[in-house]
Amino acid sequence: MRFKRFVLTAATALFVASTAFPTENLVVKLFVTTVKQDSPVQVVGFKYPDKGPGYPSGDGSEASCLSGGYCPKVVLHNATAKDVTFIAVYGLVGDPALHEDGDAEYPHTGVEVLSLNNWKSTSPRLIAANGESEFGSATLWPVTTVGIGLSTVESTCLQFAVIVTRVEFSDGTVWAHDPKQNAPLWRDSIAGGTAGSCRNSSGAADTLKQLITSRSALPPAHSSNDTMESYSVACPVRKNKDGKLFAVCAW
């Protein structure tokens, strides 16, 4: 599988005007989840941003996230007795409705969630032996994840399974994920009833082609700092006064 890296651009940072209104009752639903993986470092879960008044108005880049910026987080556990000096984390994206119908044998695409080594960190190690660490990820902003999904999956239902793809240790050893496991890992991540909660309406695919992904000015409506194994986001499609369509994604 060829992984693609997407950057949050100005086009995806547009705000929806207060005059926007729902169109066709169309809602894009995003499901982000961990998955059980045979890897030395496990994705434990995710955390909502823990500070800030709302979405980042300026730099929503990965560099800002890693330096303590206001970003969603991925939580990782090192199950080995060695320090981790590099780690790469990806998300596998597909349409669970197609999987349920027997038409999808593999996720449509993959996107980088996290890729960093110790020179980007204030610590000489990223994750201590048998330890746990959390890192901000710009990709986990719902607007970005949905934008990535809709760029390749023309569906109102998006399943985003987060996995570890590469780990480097302080003793020089390396663990690498086998891409042949992408399909079974993605399929295993789909919870029962997921597809049924967001089946495409008539003409939804044509409407989705017209979307310009946006984000709302609202911060996450959750204050808990608990680690979640999964979360979902509903993004209603709205039309502004100029007739442009947006998927408004706010937790």
- The three-state (H, E, C) secondary structure of 198-236, written as one string: CCCCCCHHHHHCCECCEECCCCCCCCCCCCECEEEEEEE
CB 98, CB 183: distance < 8 Å: no
The residue-averaged pLDDT of 42-59 equals 68
Beta bridge partners of 21: 239
Q: What residues contact residue 169 under an 8 Å CB cut-off, 6+ apart?
A: 80, 82, 83, 84, 85, 175
Closest CA to 169 of 122, 125, 120: 125
- C-alpha angle 46/47/49, rounded to 5°? 140
Higher per-residue pLDDT: 169 or 215? 169
Domain boundaries, the chain: 10-249
Q: Please name the helix (run of DSSP H) or strand (run of DSSP E) that holds residue 145, with its range, or none.
A: helix 142-152
* Strands (E) located in 96-209: 109-117, 132-136, 157-169, 174-176
Half-sphere exposure (CA, 13 Å, Cβ side) for 91?
A: 30
Residue-level length of the chain: 251
pLDDT over 70 (residue 78): yes
Q: What is the pLDDT of residues 146-170, one digit of tens each?
A: 888 887 787 888 899 999 999 999 9
Does the pLDDT of residue 243 top 90, yes or no?
A: no
pLDDT value for 50: 67
Reading the block at residue 11, the tokens are 């086009």
Taken in order 227, 217, 112, 34, is the CA torsion positive or negative?
positive
Structure tokens at 224: 């808990």
Residue 199 binned pLDDT confidence (cut-offs 50, 70, 90): low
| Range from 180-189, 190-199, 230-239 carrying the lowest mean pLDDT | 190-199
Q: Which of the four pLDDT bands, split at 50, 70 and 90, describes residue 244?
A: confident
| Backbone region of residue 40 per phi and psi (left: phi > 0; alpha: psi in -120 to 50; beta: other values) | alpha
Segment 221-246 shows an average pLDDT of 81
Least Cα distance to 86 among 112, 123, 128, 125 occurs for 125
Cα(144)–Cα(95) distance, integer angstroms: 17
Least-confidence region, from 20-24, 32-36, 85-89: 20-24
Mean pLDDT of the region 187-207: 71
- Say which amino acid occupies 221: A
Low-confidence winner among 65-69, 214-218, 229-233 (lowest mean pLDDT):
214-218
Paired sense of beta strands 84-94 and 109-117, if any: antiparallel
96-138 residue pLDDT tens: 877 655 555 556 678 899 887 654 555 567 899 999 999 988 8
Whether residue 193 is predicted with pLDDT greater than 60 in this model: the reply is yes
In whole angstroms, what is the distance from residue 216 CA to residue 183 CA? 33
**What pLDDT was estimated at residue 166?**
94
Using DSSP bridges, classify how beta strands 157-169 and 21-33 pair: parallel, antiparallel or unpaired: parallel
